[in-house]
Structure 1
């Protein structure tokens, strides 16, 4: 019987599937739906220091092959998510959940990290370095010098499991340069990838979302080849101790299988979860296990990272 169990760092999960930060994770009600789904865990919204309403509506639009969005980090603030996660540490002590957060400045990042340290949260923390939809704010992970400086400062005091969420990179040299930076630090994981920033979708003669004159992050099936390339490029380059969460274009069990084949230890689902609801986890899990059974794979380790070349 095939199993989709996995681990990230010291944490074990019954299923390799989870939500992507931003979908079905805004508040307790949505996160409780995740707990009662077949997902192995959840990640919270990327929390900022203070609550944010996000960008003006309409800011999300479904397309045939995915979506475009410019949400602008709407969230209830770091204190809300930490309080809920600490409650879950008591109520569901056998399970582990992810906290995602992002600072709007380097100073804010340090305040957030120290809040996590002081809180007693024991799960993995994800530092989102890749939000493309905050007007006036660049994607931090494209500035590798600043990224290295921030990680150097963070790891002077932060001694808990930490991962980073990355934007997509598009050049082999950038994979090399980014991996060289990340390998300097005891990261638990990297998450590849966030949406492809600043795409444009037009309906009739108009853009379809309001912020930034219609420019927004592209998600869904459009980005799967880019996501797979990033997962595999970093699997080839990162220290083996740094695991990879694959995100982007997961609609079916085959998509999840390909992410694992490229080197992912866990899989996040965003656009398909938004469109289908939490039932997506049971469907994709079933489809993934069917593929594994057909190929004779019992565990994810049997094929993780074993992509063949011509």
Structure 2
């Protein structure tokens, strides 16, 4: 028996649930084409801002024994660069799975502008709005500002009629799971992506008695093994709180088939890989697919739907 990883997501069928996490191996057309030709089931663009951004000064990424710390500063080629890529891809592959298109405006006004342009475009694929990005000075990122989150989605869904998901920061309190779920359930969202990196961690190099990345005096987002328990908690919390029509993408700490199995068991439908992809390259998808199939075969599962979301409580 060989398990099938076939995954249905938003009326599309994917050979497996694996994708890159936005921000990793998706900056250029060349990198996006690498993903297209890889074993990944789907892929997503770099989060786009209106204009091209160089990002923060380097070093801005550092691999640690348990993951990574980064403060990239949203480097990207600009909105039009990625819109041209996804629309061209759509034209050339009319029956294929079009890449997800990630946008991350630096303000509500910019997000409205970007999403308005997508709504007016020929692109019919899935858009991901990154809510775990800066808001205004002195305020937290949008995903931690519940009023701004609701205002943003209210404004967006007045005009946006195409499939839209949101990328969320990690939450750490049941009250916050409840508040955010209540807000999200008011809107026709396609999915939520749980989670972005844990913000503002600090890693110290004892030899040099220094921080390891340059931006923000060494403060940066934490990814990899560190964040898997937090990511699983957020996947589970939103899977059990959101309307069934809102799917969950699991992101955080996926570097093995077991990690993927855990995310799916908690309720994720698609899975995004960040730190492991950065460190290992696109061959990671082939390995993850093989390892997940091995676990499913061992447990006697023929499909992911047989166990998705069926985490047991004690």
Tell me whether 1:163 sits opposite 2:162 in the alignment: no
**In structure 2, how many angstroms separate the alpha carbons of the residues matched to 1:79 and 1:243?**
28
Structure 1 segment 183-202 matched on structure 2, within 5 A? 183-202=185-204
Tell me whether 1:30 sits opposite 2:34 in the alignment: no
Structure 1 residues not aligned, in runs of 5+: none
2:76 corresponds to: 75
Tell me the alpha carbon deviations over residues 163-196 of structure 1, each in whole angstroms, 9 at most, x when there is no partner: 0000000000100000000000000000000000
2:7 corresponds to: 6
Structure 1 segment 41-190 matched on structure 2, within 5 A? 41-93=42-94, 94-131=96-133, 138-190=140-192
Structure 2 residues not aligned, in runs of 5+: none
2:276 corresponds to: 272
Give the structure-1-normalised TM-score.
Answer: 0.98
Question: In structure 2, the residue corresponding to 1:237 is in which secondary structure?
Answer: coil
1:249 corresponds to: 253
1:65 deviation in Å?
0.8
1:132 deviation in Å?
6.6
Does structure 2 conserve the Cα–Cα contact (< 8 Å) formed by 1:131 and 1:194?
no
Does structure 2 conserve the Cα–Cα contact (< 8 Å) formed by 1:128 and 1:166?
yes
Does structure 2 conserve the Cα–Cα contact (< 8 Å) formed by 1:56 and 1:210?
yes
Give the structure-2-normalised TM-score.
Answer: 0.96
**In structure 1, how many angstroms separate the alpha carbons of the residues matched to 2:309 and 2:286?**
24
**In structure 1, how many angstroms separate the alpha carbons of the residues matched to 2:167 and 2:70?**
18
Tell me the alpha carbon deviations over residues 192-241 of structure 1, each in whole angstroms, 9 at most, x when there is no partner: 00000000001120000010000000000000000000000000000000
Does structure 1 conserve the Cα–Cα contact (< 8 Å) formed by 2:107 and 2:135?
no
1:70–1:103 CA distance, 2 compared to 1 (3 A): same
1:75 deviation in Å?
0.2
**In structure 2, how many angstroms separate the alpha carbons of the residues matched to 1:10 and 1:187?**
14
**In structure 1, how many angstroms separate the alpha carbons of the residues matched to 2:139 and 2:179?**
22
1:135–1:256 CA distance, 2 compared to 1 (3 A): farther
Tell me the alpha carbon deviations over residues 80-109 of structure 1, each in whole angstroms, 9 at most, x when there is no partner: 001011111122222221000011111101
**In structure 2, how many angstroms separate the alpha carbons of the residues matched to 1:306 and 1:161?**
26
**In structure 2, how many angstroms separate the alpha carbons of the residues matched to 1:245 and 1:16?**
9
**In structure 2, how many angstroms separate the alpha carbons of the residues matched to 1:289 and 1:211?**
40
**In structure 2, how many angstroms separate the alpha carbons of the residues matched to 1:121 and 1:179?**
28
1:136 deviation in Å?
6.9
1:15 deviation in Å?
1.1
**In structure 1, how many angstroms separate the alpha carbons of the residues matched to 2:46 and 2:62?**
19
**In structure 1, how many angstroms separate the alpha carbons of the residues matched to 2:138 and 2:78?**
20
Does structure 1 conserve the Cα–Cα contact (< 8 Å) formed by 2:135 and 2:142?
no
Question: In structure 2, the residue corresponding to 1:289 is in which secondary structure?
Answer: helix
1:138 deviation in Å?
3.2
1:6 deviation in Å?
1.0
Tell me the alpha carbon deviations over residues 10-58 of structure 1, each in whole angstroms, 9 at most, x when there is no partner: 2221110010000000010000100111001110000001111111111
Does structure 2 conserve the Cα–Cα contact (< 8 Å) formed by 1:8 and 1:189?
no
**In structure 2, how many angstroms separate the alpha carbons of the residues matched to 1:141 and 1:10?**
27
Does structure 2 conserve the Cα–Cα contact (< 8 Å) formed by 1:73 and 1:134?
no
